[in-house]
Amino acid sequence: MNRKSFLVGLLAASCFVATSTLMTSPGNAQADPKVAKAMAILKAETAKLGAPKVEGTDQTADKTTPGLYFGSTKVNNDFTIVDKVKAEAGGTATLFVESGDDYVRVSTNVPGSVQGRALGTILDPKGKAIVNINKGEAFYGEVDILGKLYVTGYDPFKDASGKVIGIWYVGYEK
């Protein structure tokens, strides 16, 4: 093989690898600009309030859950932040709190039966996202949420001690 053919082949292989890496796929939806924008808004809005923590308990739909706070603001049953994300970026947003072995939606605009919201429902314990969350890692990809397919982002957040206490979620119905 001559030098020119080798270089052309090398360039073609490099382009293929770069394209494959950057392409959006179900496991790489963070490349979806809508998901990235919505997640950035959700994180920024909670950061304005302060660090996340759990304290006490609260009634969320039919469940008693830990009280989820950002700074001194309790977000259980408060839809201000998730509705701001929807107003600015569309889609859906949720703040989950860890409750036992589950993650419960304590602030959400995912459609459901409690005030028109999926309040008090849990993250699918057999779904794709929970595997990453249990490892303390984000998950971006397609997920079935209560019977509908969404392009999503899930990112765990931790308290001051470094323990995962909840999840930021954003998604768009496919």
Q: What is the pLDDT of residue 146?
A: 85
Task: Over range 107-134, report the average pLDDT.
Answer: 94
Asked if residues 123 and 167 have their Cβ atoms less than 8 Å apart, the reply is: yes
Q: What DSSP designation does 99 have?
A: E
Q: What is the Cα–Cα distance from 50 to 118, expressed in whole angstroms?
A: 25
Q: What is the pLDDT of residue 32?
A: 86
Q: What is the pLDDT of residue 26?
A: 41
Place of tokens 């890496």: 21
19 has a pLDDT exceeding 60:
no
Q: What is the Cα–Cα distance from 13 to 97, expressed in whole angstroms?
A: 45
Local confidence band at 78 (pLDDT 50, 70, 90 cut-offs): very high
Residue type, 32: D
Instruction: Give the tens place of pLDDT for each residue, 44-77.
Output: 999 999 999 999 999 999 999 999 999 999 999 9
Task: Over range 89-100, report the average pLDDT.
Answer: 97
Q: What is the pLDDT of residue 3?
A: 52
| CB-based contacts of 84, cutoff 8 Å, min separation 6 | 41, 45
97 has a pLDDT exceeding 50:
yes
Q: What is the pLDDT of residue 95?
A: 98
